[in-house]
Structure 1
């Protein structure tokens, strides 16, 4: 359920550099990152339908050629940026307790989902996904992979501690862990979570997982 909002204390993600083919123009990494940042800002400001390469380039402070040297269209640029959400990762809690692990996960996820940029981008991309299968697939992968990776580790740790029985239905467990917060933050867009909501949600989810 996450968006490419950096969560690990807003630390930048490190990607391996690729060697350019002999004779190829070298693409400056700082320009690439400026364009990616501009995509998020432009999506939040005008939405996918009204977003343009010209607007992205202007916001990034580069020429259109710099964008087209990296991506051949607006669609491919957005697909690339959205797909990066899947690899950014969420921190895996390790508190020694299923309920505390879930509460920590909810706190980090809630901050990411309620970030001003994320709260604008996700609903717009979801609407666009209904019309564009490529965006739908990229968004689904981005939202699921990051959350599934963390949730599965939380479940495995809880199984090893004997807090829940082994062999739970993974899909149902993920729905229980991820669904309520995503529903409230992204679908109905509640402006503010009630006091104690995340703690109560962590407790309720823990009891539900134990009952599976």
Structure 2
């Protein structure tokens, strides 16, 4: 029987003749150009030509990596989501909320959130793929962090067992998103201190689920 050379670990793998080798520095230049183009003209007016021009490359360099501007943007939003938010471990509810707000404020100042995401939210109504990617970037990771904060606070006796992680996330990050992304006003340390205290107090006073209106 003939040995299958393609699966033999002792056989060195060759790059097929004529195959394009994608340079990482070019890929990163294109990604940076996408952020700039989105911030400057928005998703609807963004073009592969404009991205290539900003990156200083030809259009073929972009198309070798992504088949369309939608695929490109989804890749970037997904990569942004993959970074995630670390779950704080300060030992107190206020400390955990305050730490989360500090990290979230930094993330919301990123071009993806402050300039790109609002525009993509409009496009999400027409492109389900964008909607799913934005949900992953803005919600899924933060929901996990909020669940950890609530679980630890319940274990310490700082919150009742009925505390709702989704409501906690609304109380903690919602005002921050409104201030930084919608109103576009900068926040200082005093604002984050006060918001953390208010969110922690609201969570402690949370009513049982049966008495809350359905969402």
TM-score (norm 1): 0.80
1:57-68 map, 5 Å: 57-68=52-63
Q: Who is 1:153 aligned against?
A: 148
Q: Who is 1:69 aligned against?
A: 64
Alignment of 1:184 onto 2:179 = yes
Listed as ranges, the gaps of 5+ residues in structure 2 are 1-12, 207-215
Q: Who is 1:198 aligned against?
A: 192
Distance 1:83 1:117, change over 3 A: closer
Q: Who is 1:110 aligned against?
A: 105
**8 Å Cα contact 1:86/1:144 also seen in 2:** no
Q: Who is 1:27 aligned against?
A: 22
After superposition, the C-alpha distances for 1:123-142 in whole angstroms (9 at most, x for unaligned) are: 21122223332212211121
Q: Shift of residue 156 of structure 1?
A: 2.1
Q: Who is 1:166 aligned against?
A: 161
**8 Å Cα contact 1:85/1:143 also seen in 2:** no
Q: Using the alignment, how far apart are the partners of 1:117 and 1:165 within structure 2?
A: 36
Larger displacement relative to structure 2 (80-89 or 166-175): 166-175
Instruction: List structure 1 segments (4+ residues) > 4 angstroms apart after TM superposition.
Output: none
Q: Who is 2:7 aligned against?
A: none
1:89-128 map, 5 Å: 89-115=84-110, 118-128=113-123
Listed as ranges, the gaps of 5+ residues in structure 1 are 1-19
After superposition, the C-alpha distances for 1:24-69 in whole angstroms (9 at most, x for unaligned) are: 5332223222211211111111111111111111222222111111
Size of the aligned set, in residue pairs, is 192
**8 Å Cα contact 2:146/2:169 also seen in 1:** yes
Q: Using the alignment, how far apart are the partners of 2:146 and 2:71 within structure 1?
A: 29
Specify the structure having the higher radius of gyration (Cα).
2
Q: Using the alignment, how far apart are the partners of 1:52 and 1:138 within structure 2?
A: 20
Larger displacement relative to structure 2 (109-118 or 145-154): 109-118
**8 Å Cα contact 2:160/2:204 also seen in 1:** yes
Q: What do you get for the CA RMSD once the two structures are aligned?
A: 2.3
Q: Shift of residue 115 of structure 1?
A: 4.1
TM-score (norm 2): 0.79
Q: Using the alignment, how far apart are the partners of 1:115 and 1:28 within structure 2?
A: 25
